[in-house]
């Protein structure tokens, strides 16, 4: 991770309170807390049915009777609200906190919910298309949040971000450099196959990012302020 974002200096101008971003963060935290105290077996049975499993989506894989058996299509939404540990959760929610409010400010509360979920869905679809026979459960809001980054990059490329470079050097950098570095890293990991050894679903990030960028591009072309709600 080249840069860890901590704060941006980009003010909100259209909304007073970014409550959708905050509600999404709260939901993710509450779902994660709800799993405390579960045994590994109980956790596996409870969560697996809500994870995104590419072989379920594009293959003939079926869950055993012991698992919660949700609709495979619904897992394109549910996987976005599951996390594999505190570090996974905190990093994702930090990125959403830093970047989400300004995208919500630009497109409005209702559209931000739809935008967030669509980015996560297309991120999950690309990941599954690249790995159609994979039995590994995929979880996390990273695909949806990557979409938020893609939108932010197009809307505010010159915004200044306070980041920790390489994990410990505080520095202010433009969003274009910070977000561009994340996307480039994911693209390189995806192309070289390095992501597999790191256990990171980079194609979900890439799919979400590109989706978010494209959506914001078309919203901007139709006058973004007139489309807010």
According to the model, what pLDDT value does residue 37 have?
Answer: 72
- Which helix or strand (DSSP H or E) is residue 127 part of? helix 109-130
Looking at domain 3-227, its CATH superfamily turns out to be Rhomboid-like (1.20.1540.10)
Select the more confidently predicted residue: 216 or 36: 216
Dihedral (CA of 219, 12, 25, 130) sign: positive
pTM for the model stands at 0.92
In percent, how much of the chain has pLDDT > 90? 71
Q: For residue 98, what are the CA distances in angstroms to 13, 67, 93, 131, 175?
A: 16, 36, 9, 31, 11
pLDDT, mean over the chain = 90
According to the model, what pLDDT value does residue 120 have?
Answer: 98
According to the model, what pLDDT value does residue 1 have?
Answer: 67
pLDDT in tens, 110-121: 999 999 999 999
**Alpha carbons 118 and 74: distance in angstroms, whole number:** 12
Q: For residue 148, what are the CA distances in angstroms to 59, 67, 130, 175, 214?
A: 30, 32, 22, 12, 11
pLDDT higher than threshold 90 for residue 226: no
pLDDT higher than threshold 90 for residue 168: no
According to the model, what pLDDT value does residue 41 have?
Answer: 76
**Alpha carbons 88 and 112: distance in angstroms, whole number:** 22
Count Cβ atoms within 10 A of the Cβ of residue 8 and give its class: 0-12 exposed, 13-18 middle, 19 or more buried.
Answer: buried
pLDDT higher than threshold 80 for residue 39: no
In percent, how much of the chain has pLDDT > 70? 95
Which letter does DSSP use for residue 134 in this model?
-
């Amino acid at each position: 991770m080249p840069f860890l974002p901590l704060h941006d200096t980009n003010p909100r101008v259209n909304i007073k309170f970014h409550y959708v971003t905050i509600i999404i963060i709260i939901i993710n935290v509450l779902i994660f807390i709800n799993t405390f105290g579960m045994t590994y077996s109980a956790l596996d049975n409870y969560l697996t049915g809500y994870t995104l499993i590419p072989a379920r989506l594009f293959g003939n894989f079926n869950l055993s009777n012991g698992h919660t058996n949700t609709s495979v299509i619904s897992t394109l939404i549910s996987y976005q609200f599951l996390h594999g540990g505190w570090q996974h959760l905190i990093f994702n929610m930090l990125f959403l906190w830093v970047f989400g409010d300004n995208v919500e400010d630009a497109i409005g509360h209702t559209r931000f919910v739809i935008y967030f979920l669509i980015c996560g869905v297309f991120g999950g679809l690309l990941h599954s298309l690249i790995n159609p026979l994979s039995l590994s459960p995929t979880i996390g809001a990273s695909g949806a949040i990557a979409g938020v980054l893609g939108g932010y990059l197009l809307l505010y490329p010159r915004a200044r971000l306070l980041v920790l470079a390489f994990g410990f050097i505080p520095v202010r950098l433009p969003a274009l450099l910070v977000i561009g570095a994340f996307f480039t890293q994911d693209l390189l990991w995806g192309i070289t196959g390095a992501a597999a050894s790191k256990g990171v679903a980079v194609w979900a990030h890439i799919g979400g990012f590109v989706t978010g960028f494209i959506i914001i591009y078309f919203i901007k072309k139709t006058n973004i302020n007139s489309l807010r709600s």
